[in-house]
Chains A and B, each alone.
Chain A
Amino acid sequence: DTGVSQDPRHKITKRGQNVTFRCDPISEHNRLYWYRQTLGQGPEFLTYFQNEAQLEKSRLLSDRFSAERPKGSFSTLEIQRTEQGDSAMYLCASSQGLGAFFGQGTRLTVV
């Protein structure tokens, strides 16, 4: 499968715990995006990498959130001290030009 891959698909965590999600983009794509989606809404932009450089961060990305793309390939999104409001679908997308291709997402539930 050469599409965007996200792991895990589902995560249930207790409030206050840290979680980390992984995204493997399409191999030749140099741009990688993280989005968050809640029920009834479209995806909301969180952050964007070109190769290993994090070029843009949304105001939605509080200081509890951190994203990395250390070698310009896979990326991780960590949420520290999770809150119930962090419950959402976290989507990763990659791109080589215009437009973007999404992974299947990681569904986070904070209890």
Chain B
Amino acid sequence: QVQLQQWGAGLLKPSETLSLTCAVYGGSFSGYFWTWIRQPPGKGLEWIGEINHGGSANYSPSLKSRVTMSADMSKKQVSLKLNSVTAADTAVYYCARSEGATKRDYYMDVWGKGTTVTVSS
């Protein structure tokens, strides 16, 4: 039973860098893409991007200039960094496992519980 455990700082000031980590337990790390999604309070889901074990990544065009994802196969962990945060980046951040034949087919079949990140001065 694959489980994703995620953690990171929950309270940031404007202009700081958001940093989250997601660890994979009970399953394979390679052969999948690992996706980050966020959900602002009371709003819908927003795709941030995805990365595989080799470091190949796809980022949301709207966040690409501020996002960096990395993967550590030895630890079975992926990380998300989002710099220059503002109040608009306040959200619950989820990591999820993505599976599919190509990136156009990916679906997220295992999700972490989410990490609440608040940006406030």
Are A and B associated in one complex?
no
